[in-house]
Amino acid sequence: MALTILGLSGALSHDPSAALYIDGKLIAAAEEERFVRDKHAKNRMPYESAKFCLEQAGIKPADVDVVAIPFAPISI
């Protein structure tokens, strides 16, 4: 069974983005600003970029095994 990891970052600051790895291979990555047309997409969650990554892989949210987020005091 393949390990599927969705990485999310930047939600409370700037440049939110998402990346999807399956068995250690990068499948898709995107920055939220490309979808919402707002430079740096400050204070936004990476909804559209995560959706894009899942669509590129042809999987559903339930297929993700791990969601990885950075830990830093500014992130919470």
Q: What b/e sequence results for 11-46 when a residue is b if at least 16 CB atoms lie within 10 Å of its CB, and e otherwise?
A: beeeebbbbbbbeeeebbebbbbebeeeeebeebeb
Given 1, 5, 14, 50, the catalytic residue: 14
* Residue type for position 32: E
Active site annotation includes 14 = yes
Query: Which sequence positions are flagged as catalytic?
Result: 14
